[in-house]
Structure 1
């Protein structure tokens, strides 16, 4: 039975939410699956991915073929790299300790990249909010300035009239 690791769509129209599943190739896209490996939410920035790494690697070791999108997600989370390292261990090119060290270094680097992106997005959002606040403040000051001379002219006119009557 050929097995694919693929996405199973959930969520409402216009707001997709996916399960990452191992399924028989003959099953429907949203139909029966063998094992749920994780979830993928593209609606957040950056996209939220929760993946059972060991389960995904087990399926890859047993010959499951990921779809293009699932392959990209598995690569992003490190399942493809871990599968590659396990192949190296099996061939004798690496020891288990070396493979674990390489994988942990890769995970730390990837986590740093993700945190950098999250931080830059937060800074960009804060800058956009500050810019919008300044623009709103400028509009309010302009509105106050436009209304203020009319009130002052009325007060000045009222003050001059009685002064001219006294003379």
Structure 2
């Protein structure tokens, strides 16, 4: 009639494999006293071995074999079932490790590609900055030569103007590089 009588366990299908807690002895008692489980509960009791134990105890009651033989058969069935469950768990764990390894390898490849691109970009920036530094040093040398010879004041201004013109394209290149990296 479906009324709640006693809680003998719980079932959580959200874990893999599903988590089942069951009071084995109370479930066996209720089955022996005539309880009719629903289809879902019947499957759970079958997986846990309660129905197998009931079947074996029925054989003992009929005299087909003794209780020691029933326990021996039940333990063999239980060990076989446990091995199957452990096999399932180990396959899942192995599959998960393989997925993690593949993901890690892919991440390493992406990081390697990124570091190579970054190193290449850094080398290009250093190459672009190096002529500017040399031009600035050349300008300083020209300014020092001019001050030593004490030429007119107009002569040092001309090289300084040239250096600012030479530096302007480099600044534009840096701005373009920043725009490209932002994209």
Q: TM-score, normalised by structure 2?
A: 0.68
Candidates 56, 70, 75, aligned match of 1:99: 70
Instruction: Between the two structures, name the one with larger relative contact order (CA 8 Å, sep ≥ 6).
Output: 1
- CA distance in structure 1 between the partners assigned to 2:83 and 2:63 by the alignment: 31
Residues of 2 paired with 1:138 and 1:129: CA distance? 14
Number of equivalences: 136
RMSD: 1.9
Partner of 2:16: 45
1:140 is paired with a residue whose SS is: helix
Runs of 4+, deviation exceeding 4 Å: none
Aligned to 1:148: 119
| CA deviation map 1:9-65 (0-9, x unaligned) | xxxxxxxxxxxxxxxx243xxxxx211111111111111111111111111111111
Aligned-pair CA distance for 1:160:
5.4
Unaligned runs of 5+ in 2: 139-183
User: What stretches of structure 1 of length at least 5 have no aligned partner?
Assistant: 1-24, 28-32
Q: Distance in 1 between matches of 2:62 and 2:2?
A: 33
1-structure distance, mates of 2:115, 2:79: 53
User: Residue 83 of structure 1: CA displacement?
Assistant: 0.6
- Tell me how far apart the structure 1 counterparts of residues 92 and 50 of structure 2 sit (CA, whole Å): 26
